[in-house]
Structure 1
Amino acid sequence: MKKSRLTTQYPTDFELIGIVSSAKEYQLAWHLNQLNEFHLVKDEDVKIDFAENRQIRVSVLLEETEFRKVYLLKNKLVATNIQTNQFLVQELQQFDFLLKLSSQTDENWANELLLKVKTIPVIDYCLTIDVSKIKMKDNLVF
C-alpha cells in the first residue's frame, strides 16, 4: 500500500531578528520601546498544539497596527509537555529572544531596525535571520 504525506507551506511574510540577552523579558521590551519604532505590550501566551496531545506555550509581547505587527518572543518555552524540545525554534537555541517583524509598508525593516537594536546596552548580540533557511518556521506562523 502506498502512503502519502501531506505537506503544507505557510506564508513567511515576516522578518526575524535573533537576540542574545540575559535581561528579563520586560526589561528588554522597555529598551526596545525606547527606540520609538513601536510600543510592545504583554499579550497572552501563544499556545501551539501538536499531534498526540503535545503543546507548547510561548511568552509574547506585541504591537499590532493596521499595517504592521511586531512580536517579541521568548525562545525558551514558558511551558511544554514535550520533553525533548524546550525552545520555540530548536535550531535557533543560541538566541534568547526572537523579534518577529511583519510590515506591509517597510521592506527590509529588520535590517534598518537591527542597527538601532545593536545600540541597546542589555543586548549582547543580535542578528537578522534568513527565515527561508529555518526548518521549524511553522512554529513562528501564528
Structure 2
Amino acid sequence: MALHKLLVDDFYDASYSLLAIHCRLEDYRLAYLLNKHLGLNLKRKAQDLDYKYFASSYAIYEWENETQYTTWNLVANICKKEEDALQSTGSLFSQQNKVLKTYNLLPEFKNVDYLVKVSNETLLFNEKHTLNKIQKIPQVITAYSIDVTKIKSKDNLIFN
C-alpha cells in the first residue's frame, strides 16, 4: 500500500503584502504621516505585541478597511530595552550596570525600523502605488517590498 505524505508548507498561501520602512520617527508620528498621505485610519491597538515571555514588545497600529476587505498593520521592528548587566566586579560594593539590548520582530531584517503588513483577501492591492506614496513622505528614508516566502520567522507576523 502506498503512503501519501502531505506537507503543510505546500498549502501556504500568503494573502498579505509586507512593506519595510526605514524611518527615524517615533511610531505615532509615522502612523500619522501614513494616515495623511495614504488616506488610512491607523489607530494604536490597546496592547502591544509581546514576544519571548515579555522580553520584547512592539508598538502596533491597525485599520480594517471594510469596503475593500483589507487590514493594514503598522508595527515597529525594533525594541530597545534597558536591562541589568550580568557582570561580576569582584568588589565588596555592587554597582548596577545597565545594558541597552535590541530585539527585532524579524531578525533577518535588523535595519528595518517599521513593517507595514497589508492583508487583502481579494488580492487587489497595488503595492507599487503604495510604495511610491510612502517614499514621497519627506521623513521616510526608504521603503521597499519584502518577499514573504523568504522570511524565516513568519510566525511573528501573526497579530491576532
The question of a shared fold, defined as TM-score above 0.5 by the shorter chain, is answered with yes
Q: What corresponds to 2:88 in structure 1? A: none
Q: 1:115 aligns with which of 132, 137, 150?
A: 132
Q: Distance in 2 between matches of 1:55 and 1:28?
A: 24
Q: Structure 2 unaligned runs (5+)?
A: 1-6, 84-100
CA distance in 2, matches of 1:121, 1:129: 21
**Structure 1 residue corresponding to 2:120, chosen from 82, 90, 103:** 103
Cα 1:11–1:105 change in 2 (3 A) is closer
* More strand, by proportion: 2
Is residue 70–residue 120 contact of structure 2 (8 Å, CA) maintained in 1?
A: yes
Once residues 61 and 123 of structure 1 are traced to their aligned partners in structure 2, the CA distance between those partners, rounded to angstroms, is 18
Task: Determine the C-alpha separation between the residues in 2 that align with 1:12 and 1:77.
Answer: 26
The yes-or-no answer on 1:61 pairing with 2:61 is yes
In structure 1, the partner of 2:41 is 39
Which range moved further: 116-125 or 31-40? Answer: 31-40
What's the CA shift for 1:36?
A: 4.0
Give ranges in structure 1 of 5+ residues lacking alignment: 1-6
C-alpha spacing 1:11/1:62, structure 2 compared with 1 (3 Å) = same
**Corresponding letter in the other structure for 2:115:** L
Secondary structure in 2 aligned to 1:91? coil
The residue aligned with 1:4 is: none
Structure 1 residue 85 displacement after superposition: 6.8
Compute the displacement of 1:46 (Å): 1.9
Distance across 2 between alignment mates of 1:65 and 1:107: 13
Identity %: 28
AA in 1 matched with 2:16: F
SS of 2:29 mapped into structure 1: helix
Matched, 1:124 2:141: yes
Q: CA RMSD in A?
A: 2.8
Q: Distance in 1 between matches of 2:57 and 2:151?
A: 20
Which structure has the greater CA radius of gyration? 2
